[in-house]
Amino acid sequence: MTVETASTVMKQHLIDPEICIRCNTCEETCPIDAITHDSNNYVVDPEICNSCMACVPPCPTGAIDNWLQVLSTEAYSLEDQFSWEELPAPKELPADAVLQDAPVAEAGAEAFPVADDSQSELENTPFTSAGASIPPWSAAHPYVNLYTHKNVATATVVGNYRLTDENCDNDIHHIVLDFGTLPFPVLEGQSIAIFPPGTDAAGRPYHARQYSIASPRDGERPNYNNLSLTVKRVTTDFDGNPVRGVCSNYLCDLKKNDTVKVIGPFGNTFLMPNLPHSNIIMICTGTGSAPMRAMTERCRRLTKDKAFNGKLMLFFGARTEHELPYFGPLMNLPKDFIDINLALSRAPDKPKRYVQDLIRERAADVRALLKDENTTIYVCGLKGMETGVLEALKFVVESDGQQWPEVHAQLKAQGRLHFETY
């Protein structure tokens, strides 16, 4: 234990405002509410943070993983951090400075421990997020942060198509961006972020907004240096009040040959397995279909070359068929290639269905896949479905006499259960 003096030094946990894409993952993950934000930055409260590291693995960009040595009497306040455009340079420390013991989550715990998702939920650890913090072991190695705020990539719009019927509320677009000769390697499940033009109410340039990539690693068009996004035009807030989504409206209105400012790629866990006999269970709603389209298309191209023979099972939730992005192409896929289950919640003359209802209905088949260690599950879409999906998976497992906490912990430890919800 270090006795605190004027020259005691602490490792202050900070978030790099230049890399952070304001996705809110860290704030949601922090088990002790040490992370907060304003309209400018996400920040860590030095009075609360205990260096438990729970927030580090889920951060898609690595912006969270910054530690600056400062005199403990001169830790950067929340106000300091809110005002930053970039991290401050390290300060010179007195020669007699003594590094303080890091505060820890629990007495006796290791300072700066590595989050261990293999522990059972029953042990009540702070690292009990629903999904894995590691990718499936066979996943290809992703590139992340190749382009940052200081080194922004420019892409050209080569296509922008409305995916949903003209006369329905949901206006969802398929947007294709081409990087020309600029290297922009991506994997299915990764995301990029885009800077909308203009400034916020305080006159600061808008922050970049994150979107999942909807195309496979070899391009929207095979062997082209391009990728696609699935973007829903935001016209209301969570409470249904009218609001104009800054970046989604910008993207949905883009014309061919317009250019956009891009950073990324991001994400090193929501990645598909890289084995020919992998099975993939995909559960999504609305634009959460983007990474599922990327993975399905990757498998479809591999199947053509006889390089993939695993099972694909998709649970896809939408209001009606007309509001389901990629409905036509999805329905044209062979039944022996992908097992498609559509959960329509507002289809006329049909009972309301959510994805979790269909998972229960297909329990025997889901269970058979889950028992195979080559199966990975991906969940993407509305935050609200997370609990429902977990409960449905619990039902699937427990109706066969197995214990969900054990199966759940194993799925996470093996990088076989992944969530991306918003």
Give the residue numbers annotated as catalytic, written as ranges.
211-212, 380, 420, 422
HSE of 227 in the Cβ direction (CA atoms, 13 Å)?
30
Going by their DSSP bridges, the two strands 312-318 and 338-344 should be labelled as parallel
Map residues 348-367 to x or -, x wherever contact with ligand A2P holds by CB under 6 A.
------xx------------
Residue number with CB closer to ligand A2P (220 or 323): 323
User: Can you tell me the distance from the alpha carbon of 407 to that of 318, in angstroms, rounded to the nearest whole number?
Assistant: 29
* Contacts of residue 313, Cβ cutoff 8 Å, sequence gap at least 6: 279, 280, 281, 282, 338, 339, 341, 362, 365, 366, 369
Min dist. Cβ of residue 382 to ligand A2P (A): 5
Map residues 302-321 to x or -, x wherever contact with ligand A2P holds by CB under 6 A.
---------------xxx--
Contact between 170 and ligand A2P by CB under 6 A: the answer reads yes
Q: Interacting stretch for ligand A2P, rule CB under 6 A, among 78-86, 249-257, 383-391, 404-412?
A: 383-391
Contact between 103 and ligand A2P by CB under 6 A: the answer reads no
Contact between 60 and ligand A2P by CB under 6 A: the answer reads no
* Contacts of residue 359, Cβ cutoff 8 Å, sequence gap at least 6: 283, 315, 366, 389, 392, 393, 395, 396
Q: Interacting stretch for ligand A2P, rule CB under 6 A, among 33-41, 98-106, 205-213, 377-385?
A: 377-385
Strand arrangement, sheet containing 172-178: 209-212, 191-195, 259-266, 153-162, 172-178, 226-232
Residue number with CB closer to ligand A2P (265 or 288): 288
Interface residues for ligand A2P in 263-282 (CB under 6 A)?
Answer: none
Residue number with CB closer to ligand A2P (13 or 418): 418
Contact between 346 and ligand A2P by CB under 6 A: the answer reads yes
Q: How many helices (H) and strands (E) does the chain have?
A: 9, 16
* Contacts of residue 309, Cβ cutoff 8 Å, sequence gap at least 6: 276, 277, 303
Binding stretches for ligand A2P (CB under 6 A): 170, 285-286, 317-319, 323, 345-346, 354-355, 382, 384-385, 388
